Amino acid sequence: MNISKKVLLAAVTVFSLAACSSGGASGTPEPKASEPAAETLFKAGTYEGEEPGFGGEGNPIHVTVTLSDDAIESIEYKAEGETPTVGGAALPQLVEKVLNNQSTNIDGVSGATVTSTGFFAAVNEALTEAGTDPASLEPQGAEETVENIDKTVDVVIAGAGGAGLTAAITAAQNGKSVVVLEKAAVVGGNSSYATGGMNAAETHYQAEQGIEDSADLFYSDTMKGGHDLNNPDLVRTLAENSSEAIDWLDSIDAPLANVGQAGGASAMRQHRPVNAEGKILSVGTYLVEHLNATATKLGVEIITEAKVDEILMDGGKAVGLHAVGAKGNEITVKANSVVITTGGFGSNPELIVKYRPDLEGYVSTNAPSVTGDAIAFLEAINADFVDLDQIQIHPTVVQTDGALISESLRGDGAILLNSSGKRFCNETLTRDVVSAHVIEQDGGYAWLIADEVMHSGSTVIDKYLTKGYMIKCDTAEDLAKLIGCDAETVKETLSTWAAAVDAQNDAEFERGSFEAMLTNLAEGPYYAVKISPGIHHCMGGVKINTNAEVIDKEGNVIPGLFAAGEVTGGVHGGNRLGGNAVADFVVFGRIAGENASK
């Protein structure tokens, strides 16, 4: 990206001039020849650079780099477009890495690849302006002394995503010492990528807003959505503990006060966070920030860049974890109980193809670190698995980079148009069904359409705009031009939909839940994003019971071993409902942490 840069401080080379001698008895010394100026590495000063990171070109990473003649002295940055729990957490580490190595020719931060690439590119712009070829700067970091780690605690947890942090907090609240081992350099995992909300029934927020719902209805919706492949006992546990989980989030200052509706739900039960202005926030970033802060406050130790590869066993009981650090050092943590919360395998193409060959080549919405490492080390101790072939594709995914467009937008009133400018299905059906409808369209894609009413109340849409995913169209004609279809067709589609919302009767596709909609899309401006399905969630995983205890292949509990979140199977069956992943990691994360404490 070419941007203007201002050199705030220029290097000045000063040459000494010999005094003129008048000779005689004055004792004036003979003139000396001037010495050549010493060669410098940089042109000292302060320089700026700017490049897209995760926030895209609309909200890039901006750096201010201060140089002396021979060193990178400091780097300041502005990066409002980076996800706080991913890129935002990685940026201080990236600054430290560059300053320590005096070079950008180094590895980025694992789990924050896009942010790392953008940051290095911005710094390189500044270095180039200073007259240096960044590629010529060899890393200067001294060899680090790498030490093995050996600890003993009450509870050790593999994975610092939503389930792992929830389990850690619960155990710490019970007075237990806790260590969490996280493969990536930042916490959050897939949980940081969640954009919608958390399903919960019979909550005080629903009651306060006059919303009728029940744990029984939550249960039946989840079973139906999962095609009855779900474990009924696990689903019942999820539904009946969801309201208390909302209360628990309130207690750690992470309220989810806005209630909307997601696909496959018969009631408004998707709980979402809002900011001070009342705008809806992305639930994943919000919860990971609060969970991480709470865990830190309670003294939970989180060791990042620690890839777990073995569950330590003693007499058939789980007694700890072994991991390998980023520098190859060994990390051993012994404990009274072990919790596995490492997520699924959505970013592992080999495992995806192994269990679902038909999904080869699909883009993934998952965090890069979510590669199913736990399957191997759980198999090694005879743990059982269920539904590993049940892999969900999400219908609204940006194909260029796997960015997920939140299902909550459709719940709030967004619609899907095909390349002809027509609706083609009930947009709030389950993800697998909507995905199938999208794939059937000409070209295998569709356009998701929102409007200004939705945009004004959502920071989520703001982010999609700044990242360049969504495009603003002032009129229906502009929208048709973007799609590449007949304008009259788009106008007719929008008019028919507005009338259906006003009459609360969708004669075309029998879409309901009109009470949850924020708009009828009758007027522009409109906001459109081109989408196709992508790999999103692994419903299958290690088998657990309602106590979150891991089950072996003979049907027995493995003593001392618990699991929660996407690493487990049985909760979601053949298809996960939007909003149930967050409910899953909070409910079963709490159960795992509680029972591990015993």
| pLDDT at residue 83 in the model | 84
Each residue's pLDDT tens digit, 166-217: 999 999 999 999 999 999 999 999 999 998 899 999 999 999 999 999 999 9
In DSSP terms, 158 is beta-bridged to 181, 340
185: domain range?
155-390+539-596
Residue 238 within a domain:
yes
User: What is the CATH classification number for the domain harbouring 483?
Assistant: 3.90.700.10
The pLDDT value recorded for residue 457 is 86
Please, which pLDDT band fits residue 463 given cuts at 50, 70 and 90?
confident
- What would the DSSP string read from start to end of 113-152? HHHHHHHHHHHHHHHHHTT--GGG----PPPP----EEEE
- Strands 330-340 and 149-158: what pairing? parallel
Mean pLDDT of 566-594: 97
pLDDT digits (tens, 9 = 90+) for 24-45: 334 444 444 444 445 788 999 9
Task: Give yes or no for residue 16 having a pLDDT over 70.
Answer: no
Banded model confidence at residue 470, pLDDT cuts 50, 70, 90: very high
pLDDT at 222 over 80: yes
Sign of CA dihedral 481, 485, 487, 489: negative
218 confidence band (pLDDT: 50, 70, 90)? very high
8 Å CB contact between 491 and 500: no
Whether residue 382 is found in the same domain as residue 409: no
Same structural domain for residues 325 and 309?
yes
Edge to edge, the sheet with strand 258-260 lists: 198-199, 270-272, 258-260
Query: Would you state the pLDDT for residue 142?
Result: 64
- DSSP-derived secondary structure letter, 2: -
Mean pLDDT of 585-596: 98
pLDDT digits (tens, 9 = 90+) for 225-284: 999 999 999 999 999 999 999 999 999 999 999 999 888 899 999 999 999 999 999 999
Query: What are the distances in angstroms from CA 224 to CA 69, 98, 265, 389?
Result: 67, 52, 10, 18
**Same domain for 170 and 29?**
no
Average pLDDT over residues 325-329: 91
Gap between the Cα atoms of 309 and 304, Å rounded: 14
The pTM for the full model equals 0.85
pLDDT computed for residue 504 by the predictor: 94
> In terms of domains, do 357 and 482 share one?
no
Mean pLDDT across the chain:
91
Predicted confidence at residue 59, as pLDDT, reads 85
Give Cβ neighbours of residue 451 (< 8 Å, ≥ 6 apart).
Answer: 413, 519, 521, 523, 524, 525, 526, 527
| Whole-angstrom distance, CA of residue 243 vs CA of residue 112 | 33
Residue 586 placed within a domain: yes
Q: Write the CB contacts of 361 (distance below 8 Å, at least 6 apart in sequence).
A: none
Domain CATH for 281: 3.50.50.60
Which tens digit of pLDDT belongs to each residue from 160-179?
Answer: 999 999 999 999 999 999 99
Averaged pLDDT for residues 417-443? 95
d(CA 221, CA 263): 10
Residue 21 has pLDDT above 90, yes or no: no
The pLDDT of residue 11 is above 60: no
pLDDT of residue 18 exceeding 60: no
| Spatial contact of 144 and 269, defined as CB atoms under 8 Å apart | no
pLDDT tens-place string over residues 68-112: 999 999 999 999 888 888 889 999 999 999 999 999 999 999 888
The pLDDT, as a whole number, for residue 211 is: 97
**Residue from 522, 519, 518, 506 nearest 426 by CA:** 506
Query: Looking at residue 19, what is its pLDDT?
Result: 32
pLDDT bin (cut points 50, 70, 90) of residue 327 is: confident
Task: Please give the angle made by the CA atoms of 363, 367 and 371, to the nearest 5 degrees.
Answer: 85
Residues 318, 213 within the same domain: yes
Residue at 440 is within a domain: yes
> What pLDDT does 507 receive?
93
- Stated as kind and residue range, the H or E segment containing 206 is helix 204-208
As for how many domains the chain has, the answer is 3
One domain for residues 309 and 445: no
CA dist 529 and 465 (Å) reads 9
> Tell me, what DSSP letter sits at residue 515?
G
Q: Is the pLDDT of residue 157 over 80?
A: yes
Mean pLDDT of 457-471: 89
User: Does 591 fall in a domain?
Assistant: yes
Which range is least confidently modeled, 70-79, 513-522, 581-590? 513-522
| 150 found inside a domain | no
Structure confidence at residue 430 as a pLDDT band (50, 70, 90):
confident
User: What are φ and ψ of residue 515, in 5° steps?
Assistant: -65, -20
**pLDDT for the residue numbered 144:** 67
| 571 and 507 fall within a common domain | no
> Do 368 and 443 fall within a single domain?
no
User: Per-residue pLDDT averaged across 306-311, rounded?
Assistant: 98
The reported pLDDT for the residue numbered 26 is 40
Separation of alpha carbons 205 and 260, rounded Å: 11
What distance in Å separates the CA atoms of residue 166 and residue 185, rounded to the nearest whole number? 19
- In this model, does residue 55 exceed pLDDT 90? no
Residue 72: closest CA among 145, 141, 144 = 141
Same domain for 521 and 545? Answer: no
The reply to whether 573 falls in a domain is: yes
Would you call 324 helix, strand, or coil by DSSP? Answer: strand
For the segment 333-350, the average pLDDT, to the nearest whole number, is 97
> Catalytic residue numbers?
431
Quick check: 383 pLDDT over 80?
Answer: yes
- Let me know if residue 18 belongs to a domain: no
Is residue 205 situated within a structural domain?
A: yes
Q: Which one of 499, 534, 569 terminates a domain? A: 534
Residue with tokens 């200052």: 253
Domain stop point among 105, 136, 167: 136
Beta bridge pairs of residue 312: 320
- Bigger pLDDT: 145 vs 539: 539
Q: Is the pLDDT of residue 518 over 80?
A: yes
Q: What pLDDT is recorded for position 85? A: 86
Average pLDDT, integer, range 548-560: 98
Whether 53 and 172 map to the same domain: the answer is: no
Q: Evaluate if residue 1 carries a pLDDT over 70.
A: no
Which structure tokens are listed for 435? 């995905």
Boundary of a domain, candidates 534, 562, 579:
534
More confident residue, 395 or 13: 395
Task: Please check whether residues 373 and 253 belong to one and the same domain.
Answer: yes
Mean pLDDT over 122-140 rounds to 94
Are 589 and 165 in contact, with CB atoms under 8 Å apart?
A: yes
Over residues 535-552, mean pLDDT: 97
pLDDT for residue 13 is more than 50: no
Both 512 and 574 in one domain: the answer is no
Percent of the chain topping pLDDT 90: 82
What pLDDT sits at residue 362? 94
